[in-house]
Amino acid sequence: MKERTQRLKAIKRIIRSHRINSQETLLNHLVRDGFNVTQATLSRDLKLLKVGKISEGADGYYYSLPSEEERKESEHSYVLDFQRGFVSIDFSQNMGVIRTLPGHAGSVALALDSIAFEDVLGTIAGDDTVVIIIREGVSNAQMMEILRGKFPDLDE
């Protein structure tokens, strides 16, 4: 996981300090920085970081990170979506089961995925239930503290 965190930091640094107009160019920068990454992984990283392309007019497009204000606004809406639908959470080994109001599981799962908790490997949503897969080595108590960090009103 440290490699992923370091790679995401490197992507942000590269995008902020260079005019990057293609994934190939970004991949080359990452390789020069010692990261062995595939185009598919880079594409997922860009989506996770909410990187967009901005027009430079006749010069084409370049990658851009969202502003801090945009990021906070987006995260706030995900927190609200989570809180609107959340009913309860229970754990079994490295999985959590979140019960939601009927029809809210998708938005709760999207909130978890979009906020991008490093210790959540993924989510699966039904109608009123979300299964979260938690990274091995993270205790249930640790996961609750991580979730409470973003969702302060979370009850066990």
Return the DSSP state at 65: P
Using CA atoms, how far apart are residues 95 and 134, in angstroms rounded to an integer?
6
- Which residue, 137, 139, 145, is CA-closest to 1? 137
Return the DSSP state at 51: -
Question: For 3-50, how does the pLDDT look when each residue is reduced to its tens digit (9 = 90+)?
Answer: 888 898 999 999 999 999 999 999 999 999 999 999 999 998 898 888
Taking residues 115-141, what's their average pLDDT? Answer: 91
Q: What is the pLDDT of residue 31?
A: 94
Give the domain ranges of the chain.
2-64, 69-150
Strand 120-125 and strand 129-134: the pairing is antiparallel
Taking residues 122-146, what's their average pLDDT? Answer: 94
Q: Where are the beta strands (DSSP E) in the chain?
A: 52-55, 61-64, 86-92, 95-100, 120-125, 129-134
Question: For 60-117, how does the pLDDT look when each residue is reduced to its tens digit (9 = 90+)?
Answer: 899 998 877 777 777 788 889 999 999 999 999 999 999 999 999 999 998 998 886 8
Contact 35, 7 (CB under 8 A): yes
Confidence of residue 2 (pLDDT cuts 50, 70, 90): low
Q: What is the pLDDT of residue 131?
A: 98
Q: What is the pLDDT of residue 155?
A: 62
pLDDT of residue 1 exceeding 80, the answer is no
Structural tokens at position 75: 């995260």
Taking residues 124-133, what's their average pLDDT? Answer: 97
> Which CATH class for the 69-150 domain?
alpha beta
- Which of these CATH numbers, 3.20.20.140, 1.10.1040.10, 1.10.10.10, 1.10.1740.10, describes 2-64? 1.10.10.10
Q: What is the dihedral of CA 78, 53, 44, 105, to 10 degrees?
A: 20
- pTM, whole model, 2 decimals? 0.61
